[in-house]
């Protein structure tokens, strides 16, 4: 082809691309309800199908529904496995591949285990547990399942005893409500409420006969059961210390699958004083891979490593001690030669593998993307949930070195909208520490123009912004903002010392880090220094509070589910272990509690501040938001408090999600852009 023809073709392609871009619209609040959110990919035993869940949020119905689908490996359209009108989760193939088991509610709204014949037919309920089943897994021969079931309430026991009679709903409503009797050290949990001594234990279900046998018991919670390859033993996770509520020490235990003494005879596999979890057996049954947080003193700031232990107990080998990065979800390869796991590192979440003896790890699926879940196929093929900055998570298949996208659930929506450009940047903080951040630019961004800019702060604090699609920040960009998403000290992904950078000093180095991010985008010419806003939820809200007590450069702030006066949370939230370990007992170390509380500098806040939260949040209770609002209102500052009824730490009702995003946009338009109120 002649050069002039090549140039002409190129110009035609560029022109076509420009026309297509011009025809695309920007993201809107209502697009949130068009996004299909995928999770939990599971390869069938014959490797020909991948089951997964799809969640759809309906504004009209004001609810979120999750269905199970399966995609053929050979290509073609995915097939729905569960019907509309009900939600299902945790798809798991029977070992012979004929059945797909899952969790779904029954007529009494209790979660039960159901099975579907893969080639069609009605679902069959396999359990009838009045309090419901929280998790399950097939035995290797497919004849049994291990169930995780919480002890029943007294009311549920009465219902079980009277289960021959039809329940009298009117009579139930007329019964006086029992008071909560509180005698546990850890006595509250968000989404659950007050805690009693009803614990989660393991049961073995005969799938055909329906008989259930309880195999663990005691005043402990048991979770994450995993069958041994021969089906004779079950590994699980439990904190069986004298006072489980006072520490984070979970261990891996093994119980016989036919245990008759309700778990009084157990084998303790790990003795690490930190958190051990996610047990996975080697194919020969000789080893158990697991995660291990070995630095007890730094608790939630510590790095969870990958480890292996003999399945009969003994010396644990930590495989990633020198890696200093978070690992999760280990699984042995079918041949036992490798352990696969998820690796969080510098804004990326990769699928990696390493030998059970240790050595050099390999990133199997890496790069500027996130892998959120995976499952292993029979011949080493891997189904993974993969997302990228401009692609919400989809199911991919990795086989023979190739990564192929199997689902395109959001293709129609993405073809309609023009998303903001996503850029990874690095800069130095005040003390020369390097900080990574991500910048999302408005669609149609023009070099040389300065834009109103929002500083978005993540929760945790031991979390990270990464190379994934984030609706909230893309929505802000669609409305003309440059959005800066920094990973300040306290974040994961950069090593334990980096996370510990805020130990007993919240709001100090991390505030310096995020403000350096704003300075960086101003220096780059992206940001208008006179039109800045800041927002965050949970620890992101807490860090927002620190920012606006230390500078007046922001024209608006939104702080969601945040804390201000930490002493007010002691005994009111679910974090007594965290508070006591990091700050000490408040009556013994009150000076530190008060020094790091942003409420004690509330008079320095002059930024118009929108305060938000859920009425029933016991993770970060609304009382701290009320404290902040009352103080700002009393000081005569511009502020509003929005409390969402019956909501917990995350806002989940669709009508409230829409309300929240509309308030975000209105608040920033009014005070950052300076647009007048209608």
Task: Write out pLDDT tens, residues 231-267.
Answer: 999 999 999 999 999 999 999 999 999 988 888 889 9
pLDDT of residue 176: 54
- Cα dihedral 121→122→124→129 (10° resolution): 160
- Cα dihedral 74→77→81→83 (10° resolution): 180
Rounded mean pLDDT, 391-406? 95
Asked if 601 and 565 touch (Cβ cutoff 8 Å), the reply is no
- Sorting pLDDT into bands at 50, 70 and 90, what band is 68? very high
How much is the mean pLDDT over the chain? 92
pLDDT of residue 471: 97
Task: Write out pLDDT tens, residues 456-473.
Answer: 999 999 999 999 999 999
Asked if 246 and 581 touch (Cβ cutoff 8 Å), the reply is no
- Sorting pLDDT into bands at 50, 70 and 90, what band is 7? very low
- Sorting pLDDT into bands at 50, 70 and 90, what band is 211? very high
Residue in the block written with tokens 């329906």: 210
Asked if 173 and 181 touch (Cβ cutoff 8 Å), the reply is no
pLDDT at 110 over 70: yes
pLDDT of residue 122: 87
Q: How far is Cα 247 from Cα 243, in angstroms, rounded to an integer?
A: 8
Q: How far is Cα 448 from Cα 446, in angstroms, rounded to an integer?
A: 6
pLDDT of residue 12: 38
pLDDT at 408 over 50: yes
Token pair recorded at residue 356: 């059970």
Domain ranges of the chain: 418-671
pLDDT of residue 329: 96
Q: How far is Cα 417 from Cα 190, in angstroms, rounded to an integer?
A: 36
Rounded mean pLDDT, 283-308? 95
pLDDT at 171 over 50: no
Round to the nearest angstrom and report the end-to-end CA distance of the chain: 59
User: Which of these, 498, 376, 483, lies nearest to 440 by C-alpha position?
Assistant: 483
The angle, 0 to 180 degrees and rounded to 10, between the axes of the packed helices 471-478 and 654-671 is: 40
120-124, 169-173, 354-358, 372-376: the lowest-pLDDT one: 169-173
pLDDT of residue 21: 56
Q: How far is Cα 111 from Cα 623, in angstroms, rounded to an integer?
A: 32
Task: Write out pLDDT tens, residues 18-54.
Answer: 445 556 899 999 999 999 999 999 999 999 999 999 9
Task: Write out pLDDT tens, residues 173-198.
Answer: 555 577 888 899 989 999 988 988 89
pLDDT of residue 49: 95
Asked if 677 and 608 touch (Cβ cutoff 8 Å), the reply is no
Q: What is the reported pTM?
A: 0.92
* Contacts for 255-259: CB closer than 8 Å, 24+ residues apart: 255/202, 255/215, 255/216, 256/215, 256/232, 257/139, 257/144, 257/146, 257/204, 257/215, 257/227, 257/228, 257/231, 257/232, 257/233, 258/204, 258/213, 258/215, 258/232, 259/213, 259/215, 259/216
Rounded mean pLDDT, 340-364? 96
Token pair recorded at residue 267: 């084998």
Token pair recorded at residue 16: 């076509």
Rounded mean pLDDT, 592-610? 97
User: Which of these, 27, 674, 10, lies nearest to 392 by C-alpha position?
Assistant: 27
pLDDT at 1 over 70: no
Task: Write out pLDDT tens, residues 562-589.
Answer: 999 999 999 999 999 999 999 999 999 9
pLDDT of residue 163: 59
* Percentage with pLDDT > 90 across the chain: 85
Burial pattern 124-146, b for ≥16 Cβ within 10 A else e, equals eebbebbbbbebbbbbeebebbb
Task: Write out pLDDT tens, residues 298-314.
Answer: 989 999 999 999 999 99
- Sorting pLDDT into bands at 50, 70 and 90, what band is 428? very high
Q: How far is Cα 333 from Cα 356, in angstroms, rounded to an integer?
A: 10
CB-neighbour burial class of residue 164 (10 A; exposed 0-12, middle 13-18, buried 19+): exposed
Architecture in CATH for domain 418-671: 3-Layer(aba) Sandwich (3.40)
pLDDT at 8 over 80: no
pLDDT at 494 over 60: yes
Per DSSP, what are the bridge partners of residue 155? none
């Amino acid at each position: 082809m002649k050069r002039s023809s090549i140039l002409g073709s190129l110009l035609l392609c560029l022109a076509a691309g420009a026309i297509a871009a011009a025809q695309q619209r920007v993201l809107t609040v209502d697009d949130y309800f068009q996004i299909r959110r995928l999770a939990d990919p599971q390869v069938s035993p014959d490797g020909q199908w991948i089951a997964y869940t799809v969640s759809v949020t309906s504004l009209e119905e004001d609810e979120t529904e999750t269905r199970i689908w399966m995609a053929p490996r050979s290509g073609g359209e995915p097939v729905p496995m569960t019907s509309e009108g009900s939600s299902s989760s945790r798809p798991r193939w029977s070992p012979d591949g004929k059945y797909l088991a899952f969790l779904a509610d029954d007529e009494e709204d209790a979660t039960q285990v159901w099975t579907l014949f893969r080639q069609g037919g009605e679902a069959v309920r396999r359990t009838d547990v009045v309090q419901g089943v929280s998790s399950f897994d097939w035995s290797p021969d497919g004849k049994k399942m291990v169930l995780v079931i919480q002890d029943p309430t007294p009311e549920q026991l009465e219902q079980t005893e009277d289960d021959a009679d039809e329940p009298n709903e009117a009579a139930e409503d007329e019964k006086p409500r029992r008071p909560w009797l509180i005698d546990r050290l850890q006595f509250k949990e968000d989404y659950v409420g007050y805690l009693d001594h009803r614990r989660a234990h393991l049961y073995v279900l005969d799938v055909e006969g329906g008989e259930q046998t309880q195999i663990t018991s005691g005043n402990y919670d048991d979770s994450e059961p995993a069958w041994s390859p021969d089906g004779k033993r079950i590994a699980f996770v439990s904190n069986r210390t004298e006072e489980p509520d006072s520490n984070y020490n979970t261990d891996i235990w093994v119980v016989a699958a036919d245990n008759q003494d309700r778990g009084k005879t157990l084998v303790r596999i790990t003795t690490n004083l930190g958190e051990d979890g996610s047990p996975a057996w080697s194919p020969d049954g000789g080893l158990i891979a697991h995660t291990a947080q070995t630095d007890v003193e730094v608790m939630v700031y510590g790095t969870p490593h990958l480890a292996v232990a003999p399945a009969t107990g003994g010396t644990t080998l930590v495989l990633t001690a020198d890696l200093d990065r978070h690992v999760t979800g280990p699984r042995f390869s079918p041949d036992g030669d490798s352990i696969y796991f998820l690796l969080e590192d510098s804004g990326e979440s990769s699928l990696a593998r390493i030998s059970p003896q240790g050595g050099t790890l390999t990133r199997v699926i890496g790069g500027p993307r996130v892998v959120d879940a995976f499952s292993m196929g029979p011949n080493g093929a891997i189904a993974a949930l993969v997302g990228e900055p401009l692609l919400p998570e989809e199911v991919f298949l990795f086989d023979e070195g190739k990564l192929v996208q199997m689902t395109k659930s959001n293709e129609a929506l993405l073809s309609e909208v023009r998303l903001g450009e996503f850029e990874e940047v690095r800069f130095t903080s005040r003390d020369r520490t390097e900080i990574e951040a991500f910048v999302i630019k408005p669609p149609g961004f023009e070099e040389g123009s300065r834009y109103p800019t929002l500083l978005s702060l993540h929760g945790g604090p031991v979390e990270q912004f990464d190379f994934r699609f984030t609706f909230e920040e893309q929505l802000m960009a669609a409305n003309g903002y440059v959005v800066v998403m920094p990973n300040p000290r306290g974040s994961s992904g950069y090593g334990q010392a980096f996370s510990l950078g805020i130990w007993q000093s919240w709001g100090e180095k991390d505030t310096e880090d995020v403000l350096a991010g704003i300075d960086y985008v101003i220096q780059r010419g992206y940001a208008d220094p006179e039109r800045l806003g800041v927002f965050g939820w949970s620890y992101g809200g807490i860090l927002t509070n620190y920012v606006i007590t230390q500078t007046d450069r922001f024209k608006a702030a939104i702080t969601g589910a945040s804390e201000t006066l930490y002493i007010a949370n002691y005994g009111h939230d679910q974090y007594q272990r965290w508070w006591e370990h990091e700050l000490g007992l408040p009556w013994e170390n009150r000076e530190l509690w008060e020094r790091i509380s942003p409420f004690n500098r509330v008079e320095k806040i002059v930024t118009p501040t929108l305060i938000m939260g859920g009425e029933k949040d016991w993770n970060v209770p609304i009382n701290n938001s009320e404290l902040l609002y009352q103080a700002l209102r009393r000081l005569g500052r511009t502020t509003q408090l929005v409390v969402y009824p019956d909501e917990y730490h995350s806002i989940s009702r669709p009508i409230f999600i829409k309300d929240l995003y509309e308030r975000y946009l209105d608040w920033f338009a009014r005070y950052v852009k300076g647009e007048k109120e209608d």
